[in-house]
Chain A
């Protein structure tokens, strides 16, 4: 069964360093989401792509976060510089159908710890 791949699974970094996360969605899924989940809370959307275009990045802290999906397939989320409050699980999901109507398939997540 096709899965969403994410790497790395775990990342420990120091404050002010740069970190990058990678996501490869299920083949054929045009919609890709990056979520941040703080411990004990539900996921929060950071950015949504439709193919290579950003559909929603209203909750992305653009002073330090950036996301791209250059060829409309895999995607990279970057944080520079990382802050203590960025410690969280970063989840990638993909969907065949846009706008939240379709089932979203989640990757295993990247757990980030900023020291």
Chain B
């Protein structure tokens, strides 16, 4: 069991739906991240939060909207997604931004139909 928990584990949504991914870390870390993992591609960093403030947004389309209400919780709000957005979405945390040991959750397998 990891210290980073993601829900749901699987999600199927239509292109007009709105859904949210949730991440919770129990490690007392100050930084949280969203990554996208697609087949045959390296992990892509989407968003970085440090102490609840967004410190990086890697040119992610606005149909992905992150929210970090506190240092233990991170959300990714999804709306009007495209089929190419289907992927494994991974949440991670670390002690601080630039601290290199990141711990990952199990991921949410998203399918957009």
Q: Are A and B associated in one complex?
A: no
User: Contact residues of B with A, CB < 8 Å?
Assistant: none
User: Contact residues of A with B, CB < 8 Å?
Assistant: none
